[in-house]
Amino acid sequence: MRITVIAGGVGGARFVRGVREWARRESPDSTIDVVVNTGDDAWVAGLRITPDLDSIMYTLAGVNDEQRGWGRVGETERVSAELREWGVGWPWFTLGDLDLGAHIARTSWLREGLPLSTAVERLTARWPLGVRLLPATDAEAETHVHVRDPEGGDRVMHFQEWWTRHRAALPAVRFEQRGVEQAVPAPGVLEAIGDADVVLVAPSNPVVSIGTVLAVPGIRDAVRGTAAPVVGVSPIIGGAAVRGMADACLTAIGVRTAADAVAGHYGARSRGGVLDSWLLAEEDAALVDDVRALGLRTEAAPLWMRDSDTSAALARDAVRLAGVID
Ligand code: GDP
Ligand code: CA
């Protein structure tokens, strides 16, 4: 089976790990392509950083810091301390020493003129990930946030500054993905979506992870046009964004933090949206009829990804809801 996942960082990584685990157990001939958000990417201290791609790479490689939730396990921060002394980079954005190795390798390839997708191919070749990671685009189309500053006036800042430095606490007015109009999908992205047997939308941030992937010209149309069933998994459980601040993003675009509202935001393909089905959390089972009324197939299932068994079971439920397995 050819499985394509659209994903952001940490939620996406947990989900993809579950898809890989399910496929290993029950569908070992499957191939898994992951189209990954690049809207969070940035230039920091002269280096190109790609947080969501790295979260997935480290998680699938088993070198991620499970406790902290991001970055490499056994990380040290000596270089970052030096950079801070010199006032280089973002003092509120710590780059671990091992992580910096990846950023230096990536940046050196980019400076040789290679596209991001080739850099990703080279970085991920180090580990037997069992999935192919595709950046949504090779173009730099970074998410910026227009915020209402409580001290007065409106400001625009890079998504990382809003998210990491301000913990999404400054009220966002809107998101802007600079230059996305000129971006094109990275090589392999449209084929991965168009030729898939099933497309899975990970339980990632609907606005700044999935929304930014779909905003790359051509990707939304590819999802709308694929012959494969498209299934989304709710990142909202019991009316709250688990392990994150996704509600701050949803509020900014006028969508309630509720599983049915997010489903309605994506919309049914039959009504101009991108989904055929929506997997709800069992805590939100009362919303089944509301989601059906949106023109989506739906079902309630356990959506907490606690370990490899719960994540694999979730992947199985998503693939089954797509109708491609019994
Ligand atoms: P980021 O790029 O690191 O912010 O990660 P993503 O955009 O991929 O995912 C963040 C979202 O994942 C959060 O808003 C959560 O709602 C969702 N999430 C995290 N853990 C879980 C989980 O165990 N189950 C489900 N259903 N969603 C989760
Ligand atoms: Ca992210």
**Average pLDDT value for residue range 130-137:** 98
Q: Would 53 be classed as within a structural domain?
A: yes
Q: What's residue 245's pLDDT? A: 86
Q: Is residue 214 part of a domain?
A: yes
Q: How far is CA 64 from the centre of its chain?
A: 16
Q: Which atom of ligand 1 is nearest to the CA of 305?
A: 23
Residue 118, in any domain of the structure: no
Confidence class for position 104, pLDDT limits 50, 70, 90: very high
Q: How far is the CA of 27 from the centre of ligand 2 (A)?
A: 29
Provide the residue type at 318 as one letter: A
Beta-bridge mates of residue 145: 157, 175
Rounded Cα distance, 40 and 207, in Å: 12
Specify whether the CB–CB gap between 251 and 257 falls below 8 A: yes
pLDDT above 90: percentage of residues in the chain: 94
Q: With bands split at pLDDT 50, 70 and 90, how would you rate the model's confidence at 106?
A: very high
What is the C-alpha separation between 95 and 81, in angstroms, rounded?
9
In a domain, 109, yes or no: no
- Report pLDDT digits (tens) over 199-240: 999 999 999 999 999 999 999 999 999 999 999 999 999 999
DSSP state of 137: B
Instruction: Decide: 111 and 103 in contact? Cβ < 8 Å.
Output: no
Q: How far apart are CA 261 and CA 224, in angstroms?
A: 20
Query: What's the rounded mean pLDDT across residues 304-316?
Result: 97
- Per-residue pLDDT, averaged over 113-121, amounts to 98
Mean pLDDT, residues 44-72: 96
Domain-located, residue 159: no
Question: Tokens for 321?
Answer: 């809801």
**Cβ contacts of 195 within 8 Å, gap of 6 or more:** 2
Mean pLDDT of 264-289: 98
Q: For 82-86, 108-112, 153-157, which range has the lowest pLDDT when averaged over its residues? A: 153-157
Q: Domain of 226: which CATH number?
A: 3.40.50.10680
Ligand 1 proximity of 216 Cβ (cutoff 6 Å): no
Pocket test for ligand 1, best of 10, 68, 265, 278 (most atoms within 8 A of CB): 10
Residue 243's pLDDT is what? 78
Answer whether residue 297 is part of any domain: yes
Tens-digit pLDDT profile for residues 6-40: 999 999 999 999 999 999 999 999 999 999 999 99
Atom of ligand 1 nearest to the CA of 246: 14
Contact 149, 48 (CB under 8 A): no
**What's the structural domain count of the chain?**
1
Pocket test for ligand 1, best of 68, 175, 236, 243 (most atoms within 8 A of CB): 243
Do the Cβ atoms of 136 and 219 come closer than 8 Å?
A: yes
- Per residue in 66-87, pLDDT (tens digit) is 998 889 999 999 999 999 999 9
Neighbours of 108 (CB within 10 A): 13
Print the domain residue range for 283.
Answer: 2-61+130-139+181-321
Residue in the block written with tokens 């040789």: 112
Is 294 a member of any domain? yes
In a domain, 267, yes or no: yes
The answer to whether the CB of 235 is under 6 A from ligand 1 is yes
Residues 6+ away with beta carbon under 8 Å from 176? 143, 144, 145, 146, 156
Output the residue whose Cα is nearest ligand 1's atom 1: 9
User: Given a cut of 80, is residue 150 above it in pLDDT?
Assistant: no
